[in-house]
Amino acid sequence: MDEIRSVLEKLCEQDRFSGKKMFNDLNILLNKGSTSKLLNKIKNILGDSCYEYILTSLIRNIFLIELVNDDISSTKMEVRWVIKESKGKKQEKYDNTDPRFCSFQDCLKIFLKLLEELRSSIDKDEVKTILILYQKYNILPYELPLDYMRSPLADHSITHIHTINNINWIWDETYKKTLELREILMDSTKNTKSDLFSSILKDKIKVKTYLTDRVQTGVHKTNREKRWEVHPESVHFASRRECFFVERKLISQLSFFVEFPKEIFDLVKDKIILEANSVYRCPVTLEPLNFPQFENEVKKPLHGKSIFHVGHLNPLKLKTDDPTSGHTYQNIGWFSEEGNRIQGNLSIKETRKMLSRIIKNYEDAKILLE
């Protein structure tokens, strides 16, 4: 097992991490040992391509973490047991006191547990379906239906999040429906706008759903890490399950934009979260959002300019006791450019109160709006 540790550490020392090389090197080692029978069963059921994707992703998610680099300009793949001092722009240190830290031996225990659980579940049709959909329609590298069960923020009895008792496979309808939505939208045999929706998912929805914002101040600085890999005390932290809900919610809202293609709506209507109203409106301006305009922006993007934004009704850095706050599907929405600018750092409730006050001021001053 020391060979596995050595391979992972050497890979993370390289300037450019290679998942392909990780699979090639570790697949040989793992098939020499006691895990060979487990792996052979999984491979026989999933096929070579899906097997490679699942094993590579499982190794990546259990043994490695993508931390923000010292300059907070990008991310750097590291082993979970790395010791990282605070330097550069004073990024927080990473060591065994960090809730995300995990020794190699404990990572190995988690890996073997999940591998055994996968072998026991792989005969079920729904499990095989979910894994194949992940392999075909992933929008992030190394996506898998894994999640933490508890967070130190919600449960003060746990000091570390990456532990054998806190990571499970998730085989539920939320994952399946979101993956089926991706399949419908990204498969060219299922709809004629698959290229457009692939761009929407990978260029618009992925970044705002799964990756952190750029934060240069405060204790927990971030810049495009996976939300479940930032420090659990960061306002940008969110579980994989919650991120999946967010993706599905954004697709659902998009389906109610004015002039959304009816033929595609008919395909997705059984998978989306149905909206209360027939037309989706900007939460601030209440103006209906238009799909042809959105499509044009996706096809012809202008650097640094967008008339459609994804935002939080209650901004992440705003301290509020609203239970829907944070990076949750109840707190997410598409905003118009004007709505995003008007809201700023205010909650949606504060923004609407401000607009009502302004309207009343105009009425009291008898200033007519034309």
Residue 151's pLDDT is 80
Q: Which residues of 154-184 are buried (b: 16+ CB within 10 A; e: fewer)?
A: eeeebebbbbeebbebbeeeebbbbbbbbeb
Q: What is the pLDDT of residues 208-266, one digit of tens each?
A: 999 999 988 888 999 999 999 999 999 999 999 999 999 999 999 999 999 999 999 99
pTM for this prediction: 0.93
Stretch (H or E) spanning 66? strand 64-68
Stretch (H or E) spanning 147? strand 146-148
- Report domain extents, the chain: 2-280
CA angle 137, 142, 147 (to 5 degrees): 100
Q: Label residue 31 exposed, middle or buried (CB < 10 Å: 0-12, 13-18, 19+).
A: middle
Per-residue pLDDT of the chain (370 residues; tens, 9 = 90+): 899 999 999 999 998 999 999 999 999 999 998 899 999 999 999 999 999 999 999 999 999 999 999 888 899 999 999 999 987 777 789 999 999 999 999 999 999 999 999 999 999 999 999 999 999 999 999 999 999 998 866 677 789 999 999 999 999 887 899 999 999 999 999 999 999 999 999 999 999 999 999 988 888 999 999 999 999 999 999 999 999 999 999 999 999 999 999 999 999 999 998 776 789 999 999 999 999 999 999 999 888 789 999 999 999 988 676 777 899 999 999 999 999 999 999 999 999 999 999 999 999 999 976 6
Cα–Cα distance between 239 and 232 in angstroms, integer? 10
